[in-house]
């Protein structure tokens, strides 16, 4: 292959299978491949107000519905474009806007608790960035204090914040982990996420029984004994 040739513009080279641009994008989408840890955003992403974004999305979604052949004069459908637009901006994709990032208050570890703290079964709802259909899952977080502790509810809110954007599960895991490490000032953070992807369950392969598990282990959690201790806690029956 010549140095200036790309994978996407070569159809066949010996026994190598290559793709056109459209095929490559479809392949990435079907295999849920991410391109970066940071959510891809354009410059000026927040120049428009929420109200302006809602108005623009409303018009576009109305055009989508009309293209599909739906009758928007029907009482049940005529409010849908605005409802969807508000849901996108104010709810399910609100985590795109840094202004919605939860404030994190830290406290001195006055009781000198030096073991791991585990917050498990944090429910979240996200959306696959490749097909814009739901990802439903649970996150399990742990950290070891280096002198500061975080309020328990803030762990849930951090998960929610990063989940409320078009996501790939690997990126979601890394974003939560890196944010916790930064806020707590420690590498000693562990995360396991177990999620069901409706882009797998409701389309494509249509497998309704599988789930996807991702993990992150930093600092002391790279030690096998610490890692095993964390995973044992996740097996405890703690539902009330």
175 annotated active-site: no
Choosing from 32, 140, 167, 197, the catalytic residue is: 197
199 annotated active-site: yes
Name the burial class of residue 238, with classes exposed (0-12), middle (13-18) and buried (19+) by CB atoms within 10 angstroms of its CB: exposed
* Burial letters 85-101, b for 16+ CB under 10 A, else e: bbebbeebbbbbbeeee
Contacting residues for 104 by C-beta, under 8 A, at least 6 apart: 150, 154, 158, 183
Q: Are the CB atoms for 77 and 62 separated by under 8 Å?
A: no
Choosing from 32, 58, 128, 167, the catalytic residue is: 128
Contacting residues for 203 by C-beta, under 8 A, at least 6 apart: 131, 133
128 annotated active-site: yes
* Rounded Cα–Cα distance for residues 31 and 200 (Å): 10
Rg of the chain in Å (alpha carbons) = 21
Strands 189-197 and 212-217, how do they pair? antiparallel
Q: Spell out where 161-233 has E strands.
A: 166-167, 189-197, 212-217
User: Rounded to the nearest 10 degrees, how much is the dihedral formed by the CA atoms of 184, 91, 239, 105?
Assistant: 20
Choosing from 58, 129, 160, 175, the catalytic residue is: 129
197 annotated active-site: yes
130 annotated active-site: yes
Choosing from 131, 160, 167, 175, the catalytic residue is: 131
Choosing from 58, 140, 160, 169, the catalytic residue is: 169
Which residues are catalytically annotated?
128-131, 169, 197, 199
């Amino acid at each position: 292959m010549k140095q200036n040739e790309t994978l996407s513009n070569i159809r066949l080279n010996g026994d190598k299978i290559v793709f056109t641009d459209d095929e490559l994008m479809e392949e990435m989408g079907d295999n849920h491949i991410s391109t970066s840890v940071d959510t891809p955003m354009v410059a000026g992403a927040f120049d428009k107000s929420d109200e302006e974004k809602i108005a623009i999305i409303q018009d576009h979604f109305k055009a989508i519905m009309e293209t599909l052949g739906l009758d928007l004069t029907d009482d049940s459908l005529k409010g849908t474009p605005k409802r969807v637009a508000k849901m996108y901006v104010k709810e399910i994709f609100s985590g795109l806007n840094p202004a919605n990032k939860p404030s994190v208050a830290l406290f001195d570890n006055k009781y000198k608790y030096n073991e791991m703290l585990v917050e498990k079964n944090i429910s979240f709802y996200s959306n696959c960035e490749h097909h814009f259909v739901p990802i439903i899952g649970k996150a399990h977080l742990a950290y070891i204090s280096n002198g500061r502790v975080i309020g328990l509810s803030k762990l849930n809110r951090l998960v929610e914040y990063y989940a409320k954007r078009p996501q790939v599960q690997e990126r979601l895991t890394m974003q939560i982990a890196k944010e916790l490490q930064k806020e707590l000032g420690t590498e000693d953070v562990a995360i396991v996420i177990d999620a069901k992807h409706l882009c797998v369950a409701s389309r494509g392969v249509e497998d309704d029984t599988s789930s996807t598990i991702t993990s992150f282990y930093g600092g002391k959690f790279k030690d096998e004994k610490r890692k095993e201790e964390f995973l044992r806690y996740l097996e405890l029956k703690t539902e009330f």
